[in-house]
Structure 1
């Protein structure tokens, strides 16, 4: 299958959206993933984060003893030195190559807005986190989507990407591990992709979203960052997912090219001026103590993944799944031989009545037969009951 080009002008001038195709007039396409900010049902299997860190847990970490004396002035354009040093330690690149952003999505938006001009294209691997697609469209970029398949475990399809690359390509965007599937891209595949880019899109930058890189299982160490592998690679991540602190709104980009880094700092200044000094101070302490925070979370994720795997095995006549490599999330699919289209629609209609919340595959560029299930957000005692409720909904949908 070839990549699918979405022309931003056509979509935005028409004012289309998935939820209300005739009425939406925003520059950014509307996506129903926004509902996760407004609804949190008791059996929330839609969230992709680990359990939320509390402010009390964060303030108990070493390094915050003098936070009452923190002056709440403007931050620096690149982000605080202390925070960039803590990020650099985890990415194994020099601190001067880091620029902080309000989450990874803003970083990608600024990158696309700065490196792409009218007529330029971006190649995007999907399914993906919706803002990873929609911020490109909002920045005015023509997007060529490379649809990865459930059947092939959402592994990167280099042949599809090669066919979509051209001299117009200025940005290639992937995630590793992916959202919604939690699948890691190998170093070998990234190196092959760089070769293809050199041949077919020599001016392109490769953006790799590494938001879930540290969300491994049990005693497994964090996956190695792609930062520093090649000057054409820009990575992005945040404290939101593995560390459970999305409320800090602190993310970053690793950018080896000094000229691009300076341009991004100017773009940041003209959009958000700087990061919050309070958020960056808290995020610095969190990152400096990352292993003590991550270790218990990795054990919880490993236990939750095992519980989910057993449930998937018990339900294998009705669902299929792609086991994730990392992250608190994975993709499941309602089997076509068990659910016709009417039953799929009924499945989604029944979820709220059972206090259940799932993330529809349609949000990410998949079909509604697929859904993202987050297995790390609920407390351990509630995951089992939530999966039992999900079985009950499947019973009712096919009754």
Structure 2
């Protein structure tokens, strides 16, 4: 449920950025945490076991460059099929979202945003002063990208169109055909706009499912963003990136980064570059774990189909579920959220992402395999109690 912080109830929120309860995920970690969208956290020991870090003691802890270390940019470029000079590293995808919004949108400019979405995708635009036009994708349509509806709100003031693939909270991927149709609509209706595609979960495929190619090299109007946080399980490294084909925009983003954080941590970027160099060694077992966890979740949902609908994800460690209206009235939905702490459960409320409170994001990759089953059983118990 989204509201102002408790200690500000008598004092309206005055921040440049909207307050969102997703911030509680940094402070609360219940035993059955199904709210997190990452894979299991990588340990420092696992990272240090990767080849190439034997000389880490010789690393000089001076300033890095504002564009990011060349070694890291080369690894990102290889994965995204672009040149290294098209990559700008950022402190997670979050900083990239803000810098892009801040640099592309001025007062009076508009941004078009497909929702539900990661809250920072919306709030960075609001904080940058853009007029945000949201296009809500439908749970009942499986959160497919609605190009016609997005196209209908494009205009001459549109400077940025923002989508995610795979989407957060649903894990649904956009197809190449959908992206090409969207670019065609932008060319006609908002010729000065760029398309941002958040690809944070792209490499978190399930089992042997192929990893889709990045959209980074598809068109010069596309800016992509990603990080080592989700699929690779290293959010603590705070290392992400943007791929930017336009040289002028890229230069402006580097200057913007210089004026906010100067540069990334040389330690974090060194660790991240080695992690990306050995990405398949880290990703392969995680993909198997995700496939097994998704199968377990699908079995649970089938048993709960009379009470819970879902959108099966294409990729990522997350999906979106919804309490059925014929099983839960509004009072029962409120009871459900109130009861979660008693069952040691944590879920991400749909309202955080622009959905209703009937919907919730469930992360199935964060808990160890032996804890996912008990967590889902606890979820069923919470549903029982809420419906009683």
Q: With the length of structure 1 as denominator, give the TM-score of the two structures.
A: 0.95
For 1:387, what is the secondary structure of its paired residue? Answer: helix
Give the Å deviation of 1:19: 3.2
Q: Is the 8 A contact 2:4 2:12 kept in 1?
A: no
Give the Å deviation of 1:296: 0.1
Match 1:203 to one of 178, 192, 214 = 192
- Matches for 1:1-399 after TM superposition, within 5 Å: 18-19=3-4, 23-399=12-388
For 2:298, what is the secondary structure of its paired residue? Answer: helix
Between Structure 1 and Structure 2, how many residues are aligned?
383
Give the Å deviation of 1:360: 0.1
Q: What is the alpha-carbon distance in structure 2 between the residues aligned to residue 217 and residue 159 of structure 1?
A: 30
Give the Å deviation of 1:326: 0.2
Q: What is the alpha-carbon distance in structure 2 between the residues aligned to residue 113 and residue 386 of structure 1?
A: 40
For 1:75, what is the secondary structure of its paired residue? Answer: coil
Could you report, residue by residue, the CA deviation over 1:175-225 in whole angstroms, capped at 9, with x for unpaired residues?
A: 000000000000000000000000000000000000000000111232110
Q: What is the alpha-carbon distance in structure 1 between the residues aligned to residue 146 and residue 209 of structure 2?
A: 26
For 1:295, what is the secondary structure of its paired residue? Answer: helix
Cα RMSD of the aligned pairs, angstroms, is 0.9
* 1:7 aligned partner: none
Give the Å deviation of 1:123: 0.1
Give the Å deviation of 1:163: 1.0
For 1:376, what is the secondary structure of its paired residue? Answer: coil
Q: With the length of structure 2 as denominator, give the TM-score of the two structures.
A: 0.98
Could you report, residue by residue, the CA deviation over 1:17-61 in whole angstroms, capped at 9, with x for unpaired residues?
A: 733676211110000000000000000000000000000000110
Q: Is the 8 A contact 2:97 2:120 kept in 1?
A: no
Give the Å deviation of 1:228: 1.0
Runs (4+) of structure 1 moved beyond 4 Å? none
Q: What is the alpha-carbon distance in structure 1 between the residues aligned to residue 218 and residue 387 of structure 2?
A: 50
For 1:112, what is the secondary structure of its paired residue? Answer: helix
Give the Å deviation of 1:108: 1.5
Q: What is the alpha-carbon distance in structure 2 between the residues aligned to residue 18 and residue 136 of structure 1?
A: 19
Could you report, residue by residue, the CA deviation over 1:87-135 in whole angstroms, capped at 9, with x for unpaired residues?
A: 1111111111100000112111111111111100000000000001001
For 1:137, what is the secondary structure of its paired residue? Answer: helix
For 2:95, what is the secondary structure of its paired residue? Answer: helix
Q: What is the alpha-carbon distance in structure 2 between the residues aligned to residue 319 and residue 332 of structure 1?
A: 7
Give the Å deviation of 1:288: 0.1
Q: What is the alpha-carbon distance in structure 1 between the residues aligned to residue 337 and residue 356 of structure 2?
A: 13
Could you report, residue by residue, the CA deviation over 1:257-310 in whole angstroms, capped at 9, with x for unpaired residues?
A: 111111100000000000000000000010000000000000000000000000
For 1:123, what is the secondary structure of its paired residue? Answer: strand
Q: What is the alpha-carbon distance in structure 2 between the residues aligned to residue 49 and residue 360 of structure 1?
A: 16
Unaligned runs of 5+ in 2: none
Q: What is the alpha-carbon distance in structure 2 between the residues aligned to residue 382 and residue 154 of structure 1?
A: 29
